[in-house]
Structure formats: C-alpha cells, structure tokens
Amino acid sequence: MVDASNHPIEVMVHEDDKPYIQGEKPLVRLNANFLNILPEDRRKMVKQTYKNFRTAIVNTTLSDDQELYCTGGITVINTPGHTPGHICLYHHPSKTMIVGDAMNITDGMLTGPRKDILMDEDYTQALKSLEKLEKFDVENIITYHGGLYKNTKHQTINSLLKE
C-alpha cells in the first residue's frame, strides 16, 4: 500500500487501469456482472479480498511498447484480460518477463490465465494478449500466482495458447 511507506512512491499503471486505481470506477472484480457468475463461496472470497482495497493517485500512465530506461531497460506490454490495463514488463538484461496474472505456475508447469476467475470475453482477450509476449527472448517468467518459472526453452508461451 502506497500510504504505508515512509518514502514517496511513484504509482505507474497502464492508462486503462488508472480510473480503477484512483477510485473513479469500481474495480473490475467487484462488478456485479462478474460477481454474479461466481459460485457463492467464490463471491464471498472475492468481496473479502477486495474489502480493504485502497485507492492511490496515479503519477504516471504507461502505454504499450513504452520503454522504461531504468535497471538496464524495461519494455511495457499491454496485456488486457485480467484487467483492462493489465501489463507485463520485460527486463532486457536478465531476459525476465514479469507477467502478473497473465500466466500462472501450476504443479511446476507454466499455465495461462485462469479461466475460472475471468468472464468469457476477458479470458479470450487474456489468451490473445499472450501472443504479444512471443517476440521476447524470455528465460525467466515471474507470475503473481506461482512465483518464478525458469528455463522457458522447453515450454514456449505459444504452447499456452493451445490449452
């Protein structure tokens, strides 16, 4: 949380997620259409998870293919699906792709977006977004659910599109 820090934190998000982060729009996961497709136990869990969500002022908006000239070079890749402005970040020197919720690690294997938590059109968009990642020379993938996946040579991102 930004307000928990003793130091200034620059909040950087894709322009499509800015209104959600700043509280100008309700979070996608709290949208009534989304909540209504979930079983009751999942609905309660989602509401509990986001109960304490705090908004933040966005200092910088990011766009697709933007280059960030820090830590040796990072490319921003807009990968909508999980949220409208979901992004992945590719760190050039380490050949590391930070994918957030665009991919997961399940039983030691790289998996695509979670169909069970996305509406159909969002899942379709999330899969399409993975295509944009194929052009990068990736050796390490960091996911939100699962952590670090190494040695991606034996499993390409493209293989996830065939799931």
Residue 84 has pLDDT above 80, yes or no: yes
Whether the predicted model's global pTM rises above the 0.95 cut: no
Residues 6+ apart with CB under 8 A from 146: 104, 105, 106
Summarize pLDDT for 107-162 with one digit per residue, the tens: 888 888 877 766 677 878 888 899 899 889 898 999 988 889 886 654 567 677 66
Residue 78's pLDDT is 96
Residue 112's pLDDT is 84
Tokens of 45: 């869990």
Residue 161's pLDDT is 62
Calculate mean pLDDT across residues 56-78: 95
Domains and CATH numbers, the chain: 2-50 (no CATH), 63-160 (3.60.15.10)
Please work out, in degrees rounded to the nearest 5, the angle formed at the alpha carbon of residue 148 by the alpha carbons of 145 and 153. Answer: 120
